[in-house]
């Protein structure tokens, strides 16, 4: 059989994928709503319903033809954060939203830090200019004070003043987004197999496992197979952001695919292949290469510290104490250090960094610094005995170390017979093969060693009597689960331990 020819590349302009970031109260949701309702794709006007956590709008710039823009609608930017931490490049452009009433807030700077770490261009949107307390000049000054140098005020960051409520300035914002996309020269090959990023995944009890994807390159066609990590799905049910079934999707389009064997991980990459066999080969190769990653300092949650000491030698001693603390869950980051008393400038420097602490040794806290710290909620701790500092550091770091939940399997049983089901209650017969299973325990349901669902053991019986625990032999059970269980499946009982 002749080998199928690889299609010639067809490189074309790719629409930008945009994320809006900023303080929770500065109008992100209102702006998204206005853009969505006022710029629907041609032919979709009236009754538009968003079905995915991303949507496509069409905008015609003052000079040019209509162009599409994909907006990520991820509350709190959870998906964006996860994608950034995994190194995935899902957003091409960010909009940093700032209120004309409040100016730059700590959460604004946190959003800016995420944008910078993602290494994507951004546009500043000064929102709420229609409100009585809006002060554009003051807001511009707060941007400059926080080193956000906008155009016309000594910098080159594009910006626009707008009202997400009335729509004033929104067209100009979309013009800037398209201009930024033009400068970024976003391109893709529509003849290539589709690849991109998973931005959402969930188990729908009626339809099955569903995932939302953003295509960053190539074209996804019905009949192919999507692969992400150790999960895959036949592309049979593919929907656009309006929930309409489609046969094909391409560059920057958000799509929903139903029928994954497991829920894919948010932020993971996906690829497409031509058959189930190819998908299984790709997954098998990925599993062979899979190793347990050692968390790096940069990928761990951090405690930011600003250290002040009386002399340089003391600074070295404190840093030595910090080096003694090792953890695979949390890292210490020294954001600044110096010799001398704690000043108001020190407090100002750390105020925009979440959970930052100022640590002083053999130094005083200036009155202005103390007042500012109380006003901004910055923690300052000072010491004059090194072992007290050492003990405090260990206690503080341990208290702030994120807790971990670990599932420990206590028992395993094989399902021998399915007697009946009523709603989510299944009456089953089984045989205990390892450990013990207790009434009230949570279980994983396995089929061919793959988890297909979870449930709770509501009742256990042996020899026609209710029992609290089963360790050996055959037994009956009532299993509450949304998953359809069949003879030949296995259940694993587990307990959750917090460490």
SS3 383: strand
- Identify the CA nearest to 256 among candidates 224, 210, 225: 210
pLDDT at 39: 65
pLDDT at 225: 96
Q: Which helix (H) or strand (E) holds 177?
A: helix 170-184
Q: Which residues pair with 332 in a beta bridge?
A: 303
Q: Which helix (H) or strand (E) holds 34?
A: helix 28-38
Q: Where are the beta strands (DSSP E) in 423-480?
A: 425-435, 437-438, 442-447, 450-462, 465-466, 469-470, 473-480
Cα separation, 361 vs 309, whole angstroms: 5
Q: Which residues pair with 147 in a beta bridge?
A: none
pLDDT at 389: 79
Cα separation, 92 vs 228, whole angstroms: 21
Residue located via tokens 């409040």: 102
Query: Could you report the average pLDDT of every consecutive run of 10 residues in the chain (499 residues)?
Result: 63 93 84 81 43 81 90 57 50 94 90 85 96 95 94 93 95 96 93 90 80 94 93 94 94 95 84 91 75 47 84 69 72 82 89 86 91 91 81 78 81 95 93 95 93 95 94 95 93 88
> Looking at residue 338, what DSSP letter applies?
E
Q: Which residues pair with 432 in a beta bridge?
A: 413, 473
What are the structural domains, with CATH classification, of the chain? 11-187 (3.40.50.300), 190-289 (2.40.30.10), 300-400 (3.40.50.10050), 405-498 (2.40.30.10)
Cα separation, 96 vs 111, whole angstroms: 8
Q: Which residues lie below 8 Å from residue 35, measured CB to CB, with a gap of 6+? A: 57, 71, 170, 174
Rounded to two decimals, the pTM is 0.56
Distances (CA, A) of 393 to 140, 306, 313, 384: 39, 13, 18, 14
HSE of 254, CA atoms in CB hemisphere, 13 A:
28
pLDDT at 295: 43
- Pairs from 115-119 (Cβ < 8 Å, separation ≥ 24): 115/21, 117/84, 118/80, 118/84, 118/89, 118/91, 118/94
CB–CB of 53/247 below 8 Å? no
């Amino acid at each position: 059989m002749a080998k199928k020819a690889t299609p010639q590349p067809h490189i074309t302009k790719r629409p930008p994928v945009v994320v809006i970031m900023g303080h929770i109260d500065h109008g992100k949701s209102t702006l998204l709503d206005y853009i969505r309702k006022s710029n629907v794709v041609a032919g979709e006007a009236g009754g538009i319903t968003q079905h995915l956590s991303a949507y496509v709008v069409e905008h015609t710039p003052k000079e040019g033809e209509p162009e599409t823009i994909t907006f990520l609608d991820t509350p709190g930017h959870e998906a964006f954060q996860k994608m950034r931490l995994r190194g995935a490049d899902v957003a091409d452009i960010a909009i940093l939203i700032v209120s004309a009433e409040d100016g730059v807030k700590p959460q604004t700077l946190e959003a800016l830090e995420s944008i910078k770490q993602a290494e994507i261009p951004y546009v500043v949107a000064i929102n709420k200019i229609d409100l009585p307390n809006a002060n554009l000049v003051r807001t511009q000054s707060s941007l400059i004070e926080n080193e956000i140098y906008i155009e016309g005020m000594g910098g080159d960051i594009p910006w626009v003043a707008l009202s997400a409520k009335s729509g004033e300035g929104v067209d100009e914002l979309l013009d800037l987004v398209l201009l930024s996309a033009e400068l970024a020269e976003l391109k893709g090959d529509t003849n290539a197999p589709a690849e991109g990023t998973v931005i959402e995944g969930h188990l729908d009890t009626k339809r099955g496992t569903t995932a939302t994807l953003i295509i960053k390159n190539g074209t996804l066609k019905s009949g192919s197979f999507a692969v992400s990590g150790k999960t895959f799905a036949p592309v049979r049910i593919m929907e656009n952001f309006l929930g309409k079934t489609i046969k094909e999707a391409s560059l920057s389009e958000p799509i929903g695919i139903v029928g994954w064997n497991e829920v894919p991980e948010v932020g993971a990459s996906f690829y497409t292949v031509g058959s189930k066999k190819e998908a299984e080969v790709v997954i098998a190769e990925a599993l062979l290469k899979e190793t347990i990653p050692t968390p790096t300092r940069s990928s761990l949650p951090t405690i930011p510290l600003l250290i002040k000491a009386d002399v340089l030698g003391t600074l070295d001693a404190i840093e030595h104490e910090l080096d003694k603390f090792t953890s695979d869950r949390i890292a210490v980051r020294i954001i600044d250090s110096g010799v001398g008393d704690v000043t108001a400038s020190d407090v100002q420097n750390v105020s925009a960094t979440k959970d930052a602490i100022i640590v002083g040794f053999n130094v005083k806290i200036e009155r202005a610094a103390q007042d500012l710290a109380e006003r901004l909620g910055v923690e300052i701790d000072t010491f004059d005995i090194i072992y007290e500092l050492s003990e405090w550091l260990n206690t503080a770091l341990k208290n702030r170390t994120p807790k971990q939940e670990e599932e420990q399997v206590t028992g395993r049983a094989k399902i021998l017979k399915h007697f009946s089901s009523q709603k989510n209650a299944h009456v089953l017969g089984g045989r205990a093969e390892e450990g013990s299973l207790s009434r009230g325990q949570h279980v994983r349901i396995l089929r061919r060693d793959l988890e297909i669902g979870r449930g709770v053991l509501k009742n256990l019986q042996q020899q026609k009597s209710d029992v609290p625990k089963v360790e050996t032999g055959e037994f009956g059970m009532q299993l509450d689960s949304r998953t359809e269980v069949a003879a030949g499946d296995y259940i694993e009982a587990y307990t959750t331990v917090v460490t």
